[in-house]
Structure 1
């Protein structure tokens, strides 16, 4: 019986590789919640979750004080049962970021165990649709960069074979956003996908106004223009523009995605495996989106999302933002602008223990 004998958690600070800014914040560091679950069969699964600079110790406290003590003695194969048991034990704090991030660290460790036990890679274990997924680049599109730097970054991504690039929007004057986008579009031509991301910085009226100003830039999507809880605002925006509206990175339950999809407020689903609570609910959201004929292009965590996006038929893009190179022995394999899902058993992330130890803060 693969019974859980021990479960531990740690907080690891991983520095960003480059300055990252958007309309509302700067990405200071990745506070990484690392969970290890061992079983009596001699296997240890490693899972993780993250924040972008705040709240990591609160998530760690949720894990240590409430969730991890419930794991010893459980059959690690019963992933749905464990997820539901932990979720129900935290009713007072669901649905919310702290609980979902904690659940994700546990759930990804359980899926890692699943893969190790069956000697299967995650992309096949979770569905096995295809072994590789197209990439789009965000690293060259941050808000503080000049127009010239945006153009230079987009052309470099195009030369690497990336299928798309994303530019942050939310400048004080709409003319600045528009001129930056048109400059990039002119440089890369019409065939390469161009996405924009407002990071929840706009009102409904302003998002509609900017979408109209962006129409001739031939955008592939308009991401998070409004606060994530404004479903009706996103629905009005979607009705007013031909640009697909992309949402999901700031949603923490399956029901939120259901509401968006049912109201036609999401043209692209960007479900984040950490923020939704793990692989178990991530797959449910992906299949829900498939039922609505909507593509999944998950947010961040490319090292993990490559396998999940490859697992489902409506997985369309992986976002290129490298973040784990400082704490892993191997990097995500990229071939002709496509991310290759790891074929090693489990999550396929080759952690470097010494580097993790050096960055462990709690």
Structure 2
């Protein structure tokens, strides 16, 4: 039986190549902790997590001081047991963002290691429901873009083969959002999907009013309309909305998703593998959603989410936001507007370790004392 012998922890900062502004924040930094696991067979697995903006050093500290030492000597094939044990080890800080993000770095590394040793790509190891997934782009729809820029960006995305675009909303007036969305809808036509994202900027009455406008424009979904912890408000909004309500990027546990689905507060969940705590709870959330007849359209992390949306049957879209181009040797494959998961064993991410080492801001190593 192989055992984990060595854990490397690094952190890099992936600065976005384009300006990203939504209704509540400007996305200027992406601190990205990386975990490399080594076992006694000489195999390794690489996992990662992220924060939009600051917070990465807190994740790294939890990994270095608490979680990584608890991995030494463990059987890496028992990833379900390891995930549960680490959750209980950090019960004083769970459920919460920092703990979930740290767990995700380890869990994704465990899946990568096990898939590599078994010679399987993640999308097959986790179910293999599909061999491709349609893509929509977010990069051309940020809130600071003018109507003209939004139209130009959406038309360019359509020409490039994307099946849809997301437009950020949350302007000072609903009429301003209507004007921006109407211009894009008129340009791309009804056969091209448009999604919207409020980034939790609306209150209930504003969201109800906005949902009526979105329905008139045949919008595919209304994402994060209100504060993520207000389930009751989302229940009320769902009752008044003819547009699907999408939530999940700001939720950190299986139970939080259960509350939304059980109460009928959302019909699309955007579970984020980093924020839910890894691949292990991501798959549980996706399968639970299938039981509620709820679609899965994950948030961000396209390189990691591509094999996962191809693993389950109820995933319908993958968000395209390039993230890892500077630290991988080859990017995500896109053909005719569909993402194609890698056939190589592991997560399907072709890491450039030399580039990572050149960019690292933090580096720690935890080894077997023996």
Structure-2-length-normalised TM-score:
0.97
Contact 2:128 2:312 in 1 (8 A): yes
Aligned to 2:135, what secondary structure does the other structure show? Answer: strand
> For the residues of structure 1 that align with 2:299 and 2:84, how far apart are their CA atoms?
24
> For the residues of structure 2 that align with 1:75 and 1:353, how far apart are their CA atoms?
25
Deviation of 1:238 (Å): 0.6
Deviation of 1:214 (Å): 2.1
Deviation of 1:205 (Å): 1.1
Deviation of 1:293 (Å): 0.7
Give CA deviations for 1:275-327 in whole Å, capped at 9, x if unaligned: 00000000000000000111100000000000000000001111000010011
> For the residues of structure 2 that align with 1:278 and 1:321, how far apart are their CA atoms?
19
| Comparing 143-152 and 212-221, the one that deviates more | 212-221
> For the residues of structure 2 that align with 1:131 and 1:114, how far apart are their CA atoms?
21
**Residue in 2 that maps onto 1:350:** 350
Q: In angstroms, what is the RMSD of aligned CA positions? A: 0.7
Which residues in structure 2 correspond to 1:71-90 (within 5 Å)?
Answer: 71-90=71-90
**Residue in 2 that maps onto 1:100:** 100
Aligned to 2:7, what secondary structure does the other structure show? Answer: strand
**Residue in 2 that maps onto 1:272:** 272
How many residue pairs end up in the alignment? 362
Deviation of 1:209 (Å): 1.2
Deviation of 1:30 (Å): 1.2
> For the residues of structure 2 that align with 1:291 and 1:20, how far apart are their CA atoms?
35
Whether 1:251 aligns to 2:251 is yes
Contact 1:17 1:322 in 2 (8 A): no
Contact 2:212 2:242 in 1 (8 A): no
**Residue in 2 that maps onto 1:298:** 298
**Residue in 2 that maps onto 1:331:** 331
Which residues in structure 2 correspond to 1:157-172 (within 5 Å)?
Answer: 157-172=157-172
Deviation of 1:213 (Å): 2.1
Runs of 4+ more than 3 Å apart = none
Contact 1:17 1:323 in 2 (8 A): no
Give CA deviations for 1:230-256 in whole Å, capped at 9, x if unaligned: 101111111101000000001000000
Structure-1-length-normalised TM-score:
0.99
Give CA deviations for 1:101-153 in whole Å, capped at 9, x if unaligned: 00000000000011111010000011101111000010000000000110011
**Residue in 1 that maps onto 2:189:** 189
Deviation of 1:260 (Å): 0.2
Aligned to 1:275, what secondary structure does the other structure show? Answer: helix
> For the residues of structure 1 that align with 2:275 and 2:17, how far apart are their CA atoms?
22
Contact 2:162 2:337 in 1 (8 A): yes
Contact 1:150 1:184 in 2 (8 A): yes
Whether 1:51 aligns to 2:60 is no
Aligned to 1:120, what secondary structure does the other structure show? Answer: coil
**Residue in 2 that maps onto 1:224:** 224
Deviation of 1:160 (Å): 1.6
